[in-house]
Structure 1
Amino acid sequence: MTDTRLKFPAELSGFAFTGEPINRADALRDDADAQARLWPQARVIVLDADGNAFADETGQLLVTTGAALGGGPGTAVLLGLHGDVAWFSVEAEALPLTAPQRIDLRRAAASWPAAEASAFAFARAMQHWRSRTRYCGICGGAIEFRRAGYVAHCTRCGADHYPRVDPAVIVAVSDGERLLLGRQANWPAQRYSVIAGFVEPGESLEQTVVREVFEETRVRVRSCRYLGAQPWPFPGALMLGFIADAEPDQPQVDGELEDARWFSIEEIAAARQRKGEDASGMLLSPRISIARSLIEHWYEGIMAGPA
């Protein structure tokens, strides 16, 4: 089969949560006075207990400032700076606020400006970690949050705990002419996507690619190349995107996936034109995801022809 490795573009693009990244402003996390000065003009993302953001009548981020909320940042999480403007996130439960709408992260990623969607993703991931970090994992003691929400400090043994990120590989596997896709049983009907799995202790990313693809499909990867990453706060993963060359093995599944199969360039081309879960035929991952960018990356490389 044709070797297509040299055809592909060098980088991925087009997925959510990476555009216009916020300046994390690490030094400000220990400076309570600076946070207080920034608070009145700060942009504040308000999250409910389910991780949805307060939005206005049009579904855009509800513009809330520190001055409108009053007081100081208190237990708000400092997200960072866009220019000279600080961004914080707060829990709605502690505030006497209402909103015309509450927007989930997937919907925001598809319709909000990149800077706001990325800040929302950051806030949502921090909320998830904080909500599950109630006690010290070493001694069971109560914890208190320090450094503007970034450190969970044990009040008993003094241990510090930090936000958790779970690395996972996600990989477009090709035999040179076809693309390997799989589907999980709980996905919308006919939706297929690229293969993914979490990195295990003592394992390199490349080793994870080989292991996960073989475990889920019994397809043998020959080589792989890193392309890019996407923070995926559902709830706290970092998706590390690869493209891989593989043997043309017949895919087999054993329960983790409901189905896996090779798709031709013609089948991918047809699927790219379908919109909505009610469309007939195979559906691809949503465009906010690095999974879809990997599929598009493979498609563009094949369509470009030999290098």
Structure 2
Amino acid sequence: MPTPPHAIGFTLDPLDRISEKRDDEAFVARLRDDASTRFLLFANTVPLFRRADGHDPLFAADEAAKLGAPRESVLLGRDAGERALFACTFDTSAEAAADALGGVPVEGIELRPVAMQGLVAPLLVSALGEARSMLDWHRRHRFCANCAHATDSAGAGWRRICGNCGAQHFPRVDPVVIMLVTDGERCLLGRQPQFAPGMYSTLAGFIEPGETFEHAVYREVLEEAGIRCTDVRYFASQPWPFPSSLMIGCLARATEAEIVVDEKELEDARWFTREEVVAMLDGTHPQGLSAPKPFAIAHHLLKAFAQGGAL
């Protein structure tokens, strides 16, 4: 790997997911009742944090019980110390959850800023990402895609079953290619209207059915920037729980230089020299242009290029 996996956000996942035990209801119940077990609590999709000392997302069973019965519960796994970790979501606001927890100072904060600002340790960021993806999947898949009947959670939260037709539904992950296209000493970057002012990033797009990730790179770059490319190479990957993508980082080499921007997808796209990329990463670009922060895989693709690793 060009970069260590833990250098990219949401990639440090040392939990033992004990997937072989998910259908053992007695085992799961024992874990849930164990005094050492901890719970990640969500008010809908917003994680809750104890604020007495920093941002602590871990709550004990008696604290979780104060919020009542969760809408969904998922066994995430066990950490290196054999402590189990569950994720629970409740149909309430973060403010109401904080009130229900009584004297514990609690705040609900969206996961994206928590992760971007490094407010919790990387291990817990990864667990929160896993939890958010799973809980959001439950929220979006409460009804059977086969017969439209309501479904029930099973397998410690890792499966939904339709009581009407018997169909089983499993969590989905949406693969996305994110690619840095180079042309000698320069690389292709674009920006979308929702980006922060002056920020440019690598191009990205969802993989379509029947495509390899290499073909998706070729297609997306051609569609968004009018550039044909070749020599696609895998770089690294990153789970992205908004709601449940897997970013597949790639490098590619352009075979032509004239950019034709798809204005439905991008606000702008242009070539950047290696020197400009270095300045963007350092925050010293003379025009105030910037790049994604280290939490994002795009940052590491650009860093590899800046250091000469994407030739």
Q: TM-score, normalised by structure 1?
A: 0.88
Determine what percentage of the aligned residue pairs are the same residue: 37
Contact 2:69/2:90 (CA < 8 Å) preserved in 1?
no
Structure 2 vs 1, CA of residues 28 and 254 (structure 1 numbering), >3 Å: closer, same or farther? same
* Cα offsets for 1:262-299 (capped at 9, x unmatched): 00111111111219xxx961110121111111111111
What pairs up with 1:205-216 in 2 under 5 angstroms? 205-216=213-224
Q: 2:24 aligns with which of 27, 31, 55?
A: 31
**Residue 61 of structure 1 corresponds to which residue in structure 2?**
56
**Residue 145 of structure 1 corresponds to which residue in structure 2?**
153
Matched, 1:19 2:12: yes
Q: 1:289 aligns with which of 271, 275, 296?
A: 296
**Residue 5 of structure 1 corresponds to which residue in structure 2?**
none
What pairs up with 1:223-238 in 2 under 5 angstroms? 223-238=231-246
Q: Give the aligned residue type for 1:107.
A: P
For residues 280 and 23 of structure 1, the distance between their equivalents in structure 2, rounded to whole angstroms, comes to 47
Structure 2 vs 1, CA of residues 68 and 52 (structure 1 numbering), >3 Å: closer, same or farther? closer
Contact 2:151/2:161 (CA < 8 Å) preserved in 1?
yes
- The 3-state SS of whatever aligns with 2:188 is strand
**Residue 110 of structure 2 corresponds to which residue in structure 1?**
104
Q: TM-score, normalised by structure 2?
A: 0.87
For residues 203 and 12 of structure 1, the distance between their equivalents in structure 2, rounded to whole angstroms, comes to 27
**Alpha-carbon offset, residue 92 of structure 1:** 3.5
**Residue 260 of structure 1 corresponds to which residue in structure 2?**
269
CA RMSD of aligned residues (A): 2.4
**Residue 194 of structure 2 corresponds to which residue in structure 1?**
186
For residues 25 and 280 of structure 1, the distance between their equivalents in structure 2, rounded to whole angstroms, comes to 51
**Residue 45 of structure 2 corresponds to which residue in structure 1?**
50
Matched, 1:87 2:80: no
* Matched residues, number: 293
Q: Give the aligned residue type for 1:207.
A: H
Contact 2:229/2:253 (CA < 8 Å) preserved in 1?
yes
**Alpha-carbon offset, residue 46 of structure 1:** 0.4
Q: 1:274 aligns with which of 272, 283, 305?
A: 283
Contact 1:218/1:253 (CA < 8 Å) preserved in 2?
yes
Structure 1: any 5+ residue segments left out of the alignment? 1-8
Contact 1:66/1:73 (CA < 8 Å) preserved in 2?
no
For residues 78 and 199 of structure 1, the distance between their equivalents in structure 2, rounded to whole angstroms, comes to 29
Q: Which has the higher contact order (CA 8 A, sep 6+)?
A: 1
For residues 216 and 59 of structure 1, the distance between their equivalents in structure 2, rounded to whole angstroms, comes to 42
Structure 2: any 5+ residue segments left out of the alignment? none
For residues 48 and 283 of structure 2, the distance between their equivalents in structure 1, rounded to whole angstroms, comes to 29
Matched, 1:133 2:146: no
Q: Give the aligned residue type for 2:78.
A: L
Matched, 1:197 2:205: yes
